[in-house]
Structure 1
Amino acid sequence: MHAIERRAATERLRRCVVPTSQYPEIYEAIYSTILSGLVGRNPVDPRFVRWHSDLARNAVIREATSSPTLLLTGLSGSGKSTLVESVLSCFPQVIRHTRYSGEPLQRSQLVYLRVDVPPDASRRAFCLSILDAIDSALDTNYGTQYRKPHTRLGDLETAICTACTAYGVGILVLDELQNINVQNAGGQEALLNLFDTLTNRARVPIMQVGTPAALRVFGNRFRAARRAGTAGVVELERPVHGSEDWQFLVEVAWRGQWVKNPTPLTKSLDKTLYTLSQGLPAVLYRLVALANHAAISEGSERINAQCLKAVYRKQFGLMRPALSALRKGDQGRYEDLMSVGEWFDTGGSRGSLHQIFSRANAAKLGAAEITELRRRIEDAFLEANLNTQQKGRLRKLWRSLGLTGEPGLSDAQ
């Protein structure tokens, strides 16, 4: 192949999908969520017809229902979007029904609806993105119909609920959830109400995908954040060096050498690749692709540690501080690089442990402040996955406030 063709071929690495050990877990979670969300949504059932009519008229729906929600979070570059796209591709997006139980039934069913939340999205932009996704899948015109300045937000939300019900949406996947601008969206409560409307009124299961920074959408308490995952919270783990997942990723990446003099994957190169990429698939594949490009362009036609490091220094300028923080274990400065536990522990949310201790260290604490701290500590014990050290610190604070009993259990005593 000519050098130009080989350089172009390196782009295939950026589209590479390598299933890790968590893929089956997330496939099962999505599949189960779709199935459970379809319960009670039989389109020929008279109760369903009445309910759909009530939705379209924006009437009060008295029946208490709630569809499951699923939260997938992970570091930026960990492959969340690729994973979700791969799993969803296992299902047909649209099913055209012609009969049901031997009777004619002309109906289009949306098995899944995936929406990329636009950057700095307002609530209106968020709603329009959902309608645009429906249009893209079914060739409808909801987006055009409701993209008018005078259209009220309430009308947009009703349109979403009605359309999702009419087409039997199995699951609504909201990717890049951290892009929602909470202030532009009317605040956390407005966003939570919108999610509740979809799960309670329209009975549509929701899967929310984003970095831990997306947790800011759910407000200042652990319990609010947990509302994102009634069907489960899955954190996409960064592969550890030497793990089976890492070996699978790096071996596939290293096969993508388009140079004339490919080199074997030695232990030294393996370590260099992990050190530079920190196990993030997006970084790993971009690094190898750019190293191919450089080796071909410069004529060396060989990828070695020197080439990888030179490409890293030259091409990863904006990402290097964040990757350096991962190496040092100092990712608390970067919201997109924190785990969920680190997010709560270092102040990523106003309901985090960081804020609990900041409040406790403030000036004089009156009865109201102590009551608020008690509520926050109990909430943390009930809703957060605390480690032993975190629990110990909170128990010590609990006692210093003159509180008795065990945090999280005092209401029952």
Structure 2
Amino acid sequence: MAKNKGSEPFNPYEGNILVDGLGPIPSPTELENFLLNLPKAPGAILEAPAYIRLHELLLLENLFVPSPTSISTAQSIDLSLRHSYRSRDPRIPANRWGEVEQHAKGPTSVRPPALDEVRGARLVTIGGAAGTGKTRTISKSLSRYRELIIHETFPGLVGQHVQAVRLSVDVPASGQLVDLAAGLMMEWDRVFTHGLGSKAARFELPLARYRHARKPSQGLPMFDEWSSVARAHCLGVLHLDEIQNFFRIPTLEQRRAKKSADSLPELSVKDDQALLRLLTWCNSMRIALVFSGTPDGMHAFARRLSVLTRVANGFFHEFSPLDGPNGPGFKFFSKRLESYQYVRNPLKLDEAARNTLHRLTASVPRILIGLWVGGQRIALERDKEDFLLTDLETAAATLLGPLRPAVQALLKGDPVSLRRYEDLMHLNDGFWKQFWR
């Protein structure tokens, strides 16, 4: 049940029951502490045999040290979510557009808002190189809020009403509206059945038709049906990941054939109806929209004039590798790493060690953690258990060998190499799954 936070001092949303259940507005420090994830530091486990310590070592997969970009992104998501509910305060009849009342009576059509009623929600776009913390930041930021909030009373209704706070889906590989609408329906039913029981499934019939005979022409009516339900349940924020799937991206072979960034073709949209419908939806439904994806996908997305207009009223965040071996961000991150050593004779992370880490990882956090784990695995195979810089070199050449071309591409820093880096990182998703087993 939603708790009323209206009595808190300096509450810009006082009395808005759609915001009450989100909890107090977090400070940047609170967001940083929430995003930070530090596995249990080595202690008594150091007395265990090496083969036992290997299992503790793999807990480093969960290490996450938020960057300033991570904290700013979390704040933008919180701002956009709360702002979307400000313009839909159900105490004001004009803000309801009648959709909640009509939806409660049955699947009738919903009156679209008049132009003077529309105050579009903010669009948050998030891009950057793979392995720099985009996905972890977004998923953890959204997890601050419950998926569903049950209101015992709700303006304009008799009895309970369920508020859907957040929903996250991947843009389908086809990039078509029909598959996106099906994905939204499937995830909606998963959230509601998990929170309320099997009887809460809403889209069994349209999904059955979709599975029986998928037709692109189903896309618009399916999306509009999902949109009507989402609006009636006061959805706060929709996150769409893998935004590059909306576009036809050149294959790895085509990229390798190009000698300059200027010679690469512009990315075309697979299904213009899907992107256009989403942007129109964001404008008219007043529901916050979070887009994330690879740099190529975000670049193509941002080139559309309609998107630029929305970004001008929204937020854009770009994640990058850490700031090099002597930068404050890298030093802070490496200090965290240094405290997670499961060997008898640990390695001191001095300037030489930081330079080695940068050269072997291009300062990408995901690769840094993987190399730190790989180097210790090699050190633990020796009786002396002395963690050496040569262990990092060996791990980079063997355990993390498939990533070396990607690291070299990042270190070069030219646009063509960076595009190849993104391809290589996505091709190596299977590698990471095997690495952490």
1:141 equivalenced with 2:192 (yes/no):
no
1:352-372 deviations in whole A, cap 9, x for unaligned? xxxxxxxxxxxxxxxxxxxxx
8 Å contact kept, 2:189–2:202: yes
- Residues 180, 310 of structure 1: alpha-carbon distance in 2 compared, 3 angstrom cutoff: farther
Structure 2 residue identity aligned to 1:8? H
1:41-93 deviations in whole A, cap 9, x for unaligned? 24465441524549964566252322221101111111101111222222233
- Residue 378 of structure 2 aligns to a residue in which SS? helix
In the alignment, the residues of structure 1 paired with residue 365 and residue 352 of structure 2 have an alpha-carbon distance, to the nearest angstrom, of 19
Q: CA deviation at 1:34?
A: 0.8
Match of 2:82 in 1: 35
1:50 equivalenced with 2:116 (yes/no):
no
- Residue 153 of structure 2 aligns to a residue in which SS? strand
In the alignment, the residues of structure 2 paired with residue 276 and residue 305 of structure 1 have an alpha-carbon distance, to the nearest angstrom, of 11
- Residue 401 of structure 2 aligns to a residue in which SS? coil
Return 5+ residue gaps in structure 2 as ranges. 1-47, 194-199, 250-267, 423-437
Match of 1:406 in 2: none
1:235 equivalenced with 2:235 (yes/no):
no
Structure 2 residue identity aligned to 1:178? Q
Return 5+ residue gaps in structure 1 as ranges. 339-413
8 Å contact kept, 1:164–1:202: no
In the alignment, the residues of structure 1 paired with residue 227 and residue 162 of structure 2 have an alpha-carbon distance, to the nearest angstrom, of 16
In the alignment, the residues of structure 2 paired with residue 168 and residue 235 of structure 1 have an alpha-carbon distance, to the nearest angstrom, of 29
1:195-344 correspondence to structure 2 within 5 Å: 195-215=278-298, 218=301, 221=303, 223-227=305-309, 229=311, 230-241=313-324, 242-297=326-381, 299=383, 301-335=385-419
TM-score normalised to structure 1 length? 0.72
Match of 1:21 in 2: 68
- Residues 275, 85 of structure 1: alpha-carbon distance in 2 compared, 3 angstrom cutoff: same
1:343-382 correspondence to structure 2 within 5 Å: none
**What is the total number of aligned residue pairs between the two structures?**
336
Pick one of 145, 158, 167 that aligns with 2:224. 158
Match of 1:187 in 2: 270
Structure 2 residue identity aligned to 1:25? S
Structure 2 residue identity aligned to 1:145? L
In the alignment, the residues of structure 2 paired with residue 112 and residue 262 of structure 1 have an alpha-carbon distance, to the nearest angstrom, of 44
In the alignment, the residues of structure 2 paired with residue 138 and residue 20 of structure 1 have an alpha-carbon distance, to the nearest angstrom, of 33
Match of 2:132 in 1: 78
Q: CA deviation at 1:324?
A: 0.4
8 Å contact kept, 1:208–1:228: no
8 Å contact kept, 1:73–1:80: yes
In the alignment, the residues of structure 2 paired with residue 12 and residue 89 of structure 1 have an alpha-carbon distance, to the nearest angstrom, of 21
Structure 1 residue identity aligned to 2:140? S
> CA RMSD for the aligned pairs?
3.1
Q: CA deviation at 1:123?
A: 3.1
- Residues 115, 150 of structure 1: alpha-carbon distance in 2 compared, 3 angstrom cutoff: closer
- Residue 99 of structure 1 aligns to a residue in which SS? coil
Identity %: 21
TM-score normalised to structure 2 length? 0.68
